[in-house]
Amino acid sequence: MVELLEFPKILDPRGNLTFLQYADQIPFEMKRIFWTYDVPGGEIRGGHAYKNQHEVIIALSGSFDVVITHPDNSIQKFQLNRSYYGLYVPAMVWRHMENFSTNAVGLHLSSSEYNESDYIRSFDQFASLKK
């Protein structure tokens, strides 16, 4: 299930600190990290599902929305705008990111190495696999 995770916050007058480690804060061992940045206003990233990999998405800086589209076309929108929140997205969930603010940095923690064959890039195929 898609779930908003709240990470520990160490508030400090010198600047705040947040951390996460497997398995206390995220439910899988990380194999890969990637991030998006310099996303032009109005752009959309990541319209696809993964067959097997799980991920946690964090707005490390700025903000953006993660939009989950269910097989019946209903949507769920999560606005990420604090670096101490992460959105857990399990496998077989169709998601895209939109509404990026200037200087938004989107960090993705993934359970797998990069593998193009793990992507489902057709929504119709995704919806029929979920039936």
Binding pattern for the stretch 10-39 against ligand TYD, x by CB under 6 A and - elsewhere? ----------------------x-x-----
| Distance in angstroms (rounded) separating the CA atoms of residues 43 and 14 | 35
129 backbone dihedrals φ, ψ, rounded to 5°: -70, -25
Binding pattern for the stretch 59-98 against ligand TYD, x by CB under 6 A and - elsewhere? ----------------------------------------
**Residue (of 97, 128, 130, 118) closest to 52 by Cα position:** 118
16, 114, 125, 128: which one contacts ligand TYD (CB under 6 A)? 114
As to burial, measured by CB atoms within 10 angstroms (0-12 exposed, 13-18 middle, 19+ buried), residue 21 is: exposed
Catalytic residues: 48
Given the complex with ligand TYD, which of 51 and 84 has the nearer CB atom?
51
How many whole angstroms from its chain centre is CA 13? 29
| Distance in angstroms (rounded) separating the CA atoms of residues 105 and 60 | 5
The reply to whether 130 sits near ligand TYD by the rule CB under 6 A is no
46, 78, 80, 106: which one contacts ligand TYD (CB under 6 A)? 46
How many whole angstroms from its chain centre is CA 84? 13
Q: Which range binds ligand TYD by CB under 6 A, 44-52, 56-64, 67-75, 80-88?
A: 44-52
Site of interaction with ligand TYD (CB under 6 A): 32, 34, 45-46, 48, 114
